[in-house]
Structure 1
Amino acid sequence: MSTTDPHHLYASGRARSEGEPMSTTYDRGLHDLGDGVSAWLLPDGSWGWSNAGLVRGDGESLLFDTLFDLPLTREMLDAMAPLTETAPIRHLVNSHANGDHCFGNELVPAEATVYAGTDFTHHLHEASPAVLQSMMESDYGPVGTAYLQRWFGPFTFTGISVREPEVTVDTSLTVDVGGRDVELLMLGPAHTASDLVAWVPDAGVLFAGDLLFLGGAPIVWAGPAAAWIDACDRMIALDPRHVVPGHGPVTDTDGIREVRSYLEFVRDYAAETFQAGMGWREAADRIDLASFDSLDNSERIIANLYTEYRHLDPETPQQGLPELIVGMAEWDAARSR
């Protein structure tokens, strides 16, 4: 298990100079953040390659998120076993209902209490393992099908039975983990309708879930972007030493500010093009991403502008998950030509 220095470091362990941008190069596996807190990181942080965390107290632990399938989650739990042997997992927090943060729940000990937001179960069924497996077996044309296979082909969605929460969190909840407090804060809707973060005040560590994407474009499923910006401000106000994003390397408040800047860009561009009478898809096709063009998965601008337009005009025709995925695939293919 690698150890992260307590002062503004890359997840890979190299010190970051003042003002230096975040790196997207980091190591797979368990990283010690100090004070009985660890982060599990899965490069490269793109679709499905997500992070999780472990907080150890006296005789018990809290696990923040599981992973996209059972083999990935089993690998993580096996790596954590030397730590959880004397502090078994008794609490599991799911940040939100996207599968890359909860599809491994069934492998967590049955004695553990599962916590999630109030909308978790509803949104889980919208993109359940069965739904994703069906999408993988469907024909969305050469571009859409190739995109799905490229990004989701590495994962196994069969044989999964997602364990749902016993405790739901509407605003906040403090969990006693072997004598230390872990604060669960509901900061959604933002990325999804229900985004839960875990703040470990005695260690200065924030597990942000998918309120943070580092190195890749955030994706706004629920929004609006303004609400996510507010969530960023609330996270910054905690003044964490370490922030574990849902995707990407361990960061600090600078990483939160990077995501906030992207969301401001999306909010302002959507408002401008909407007022100009432009449709969301035309706006996406015409966009100049400027400094954000270097982000991985920049095609997520399709979903982001669609979501913003739905908030600006609820009569905007609704797009399902397959339609948005195909739209992102087509946008990416057009930009790559």
Structure 2
Amino acid sequence: MGRWVEVGDRAWVRRHAELDLSLGLVAGDRACLVVDTGADETQGAAFAKAVRELTGLPWSVVVTHAHFDHAFGTAAFGHRPVFGHPGCRAALAGTGEAQRATWAEHYRREGRPEAAERIAAARIVPPGRTVTGTAELDLGGRLVRLVHPGPGHTDHDLVVHVPDSGLVFAGDLVEEGAPPSFGDAFPQAWPSALDLVLALGARTVVPGHGEPVDAAFVTRQRAELAEVAALCRAVATGALPPAEALARSPYPEDFTTEALARPTTTTTT
């Protein structure tokens, strides 16, 4: 179901083969923080059990963004505080059922009815504690910062900064092993969001998908996203035909097509 990778003092990432997903855990002296919860309650319950193999401390949860693979397992963690951006709460309310239907059908087409049923049965739990800019959580002996860096992968991404370990859980603002996903993204703002992530000075960054990376990796991905942002601007202004933008992009055609279809404004909630 998953494997633990230690990424700092009392900080771990749980790696999953399914969707190359990374879920996180940070522990202090009195409490721990779970970073994202998985794609359904079965995965969430397995993750919760794995957390209990490392610590018996009371937990709270942060949801980095509202996509099903990061948020649909939250009910498995019971009635504990759940943190997220207000836009995450709104997106789960507004798109949760559509995500459920889309991904259940995806797994049925793949011949995986059990996975489809798990998503169909998942209870969607919106964040009850919202963070619009920055918030600090005291886990006992260590502070963890939740930071909204502006629109990027979505309009409501939160990153989890663990200053005493030089660590950031970046959600899907950073992806390792595959190109970033632009389905709900703001491509022209995404590089600025990564500027803020880099400004946190982390030595280790945990992507939402893929293995942990260093700041140099994030810098390279930021440069690629800046190329995509420039192509989006050029197409939007008529300076470049879409076919030429697709040819110039650092990412495959289907990813770039998604980016070109996204809004050119950076208005967020």
TM over 0.5: yes
**Aligned residue number for residue 127 of structure 1:** 95
Matches of 2:76 and 2:239 in 1, distance apart?
A: 50
- Asked whether 1:306 is paired with 2:261, we answer yes
Q: CA deviation at 1:291?
A: 4.8
1:1-337 equivalent positions in 2, closer than 5 A = 28-43=2-17, 46=19, 49-85=20-56, 87-89=57-59, 91-110=60-79, 112-128=80-96, 130-135=97-102, 149-150=109-110, 154-155=115-116, 156-276=118-238, 283=242, 287-288=246-247, 291-293=250-252, 299-307=254-262, 310-311=263-264
Q: CA deviation at 1:300?
A: 2.2
Matches of 2:198 and 2:5 in 1, distance apart?
A: 22
Matches of 1:271 and 1:220 in 2, distance apart?
A: 15
Structure 2: stretches of 5+ with no match in the other structure: none
Matches of 1:150 and 1:260 in 2, distance apart?
A: 33
Runs (4 or more) in structure 1 with deviation over 6 Å come to none
In percent, how many aligned pairs have the same letter?
Answer: 27
Whether the 8 Å contact between 1:214 and 1:259 is mirrored in structure 2 is no
In the superposition, the TM-score normalised over structure 2's length comes to: 0.87
**Aligned residue number for residue 333 of structure 1:** none
| SS at 2:64 equivalent | coil
Please give the root-mean-square deviation of Cα atoms over the aligned residues, in Å: 2.8
**Aligned residue number for residue 318 of structure 1:** none
Q: CA deviation at 1:236?
A: 1.1
Matches of 1:150 and 1:258 in 2, distance apart?
A: 34
Matches of 2:248 and 2:17 in 1, distance apart?
A: 24
Whether the 8 Å contact between 1:30 and 1:80 is mirrored in structure 2 is no
Structure 1: stretches of 5+ with no match in the other structure: 1-26, 139-144, 315-337
Whether the 8 Å contact between 1:136 and 1:149 is mirrored in structure 2 is no
**Cα distance, 1:276–1:28 mapped onto 2, change above 3 Å:** same
